[in-house]
Amino acid sequence: AGCNVENACYSLGVCAERTAIQKAISEGHTSFRAMAIASDMGDHFIVPCGACRQVMREFGTDWNIYLTKTDGTYVVKTLEELLPLSFGPEDLKK
């Protein structure tokens, strides 16, 4: 579980996605199958920011990201769809 930690200087805040991943890693989890992103923004699906997408990418591209709205509707995207042609740990071996 994670939540946004806002700061008056926006770049110093921490997104919920990165908070959740870092908490999971600190508890020994390094393999992920899915993540759900929820908010109270009404009519809009909330998507992860670029920094969160790149952190998520460290754990592969074939896991599902559930984007939800307050009315219960959702869409499912793979990380590959959200971050195409990405750079990951395997590229460091080239």
So which residues are the catalytic ones?
Answer: 17
Name the residue among 47, 59, 50 with its Cα closest to residue 22.
59
Q: What angle do CA 18, 6, 47 make, to 5 degrees?
A: 50
- 23 SS3 class: helix
- Residue 82 neighbours by CB under 8 Å, 6+ apart: 47, 48, 53, 65
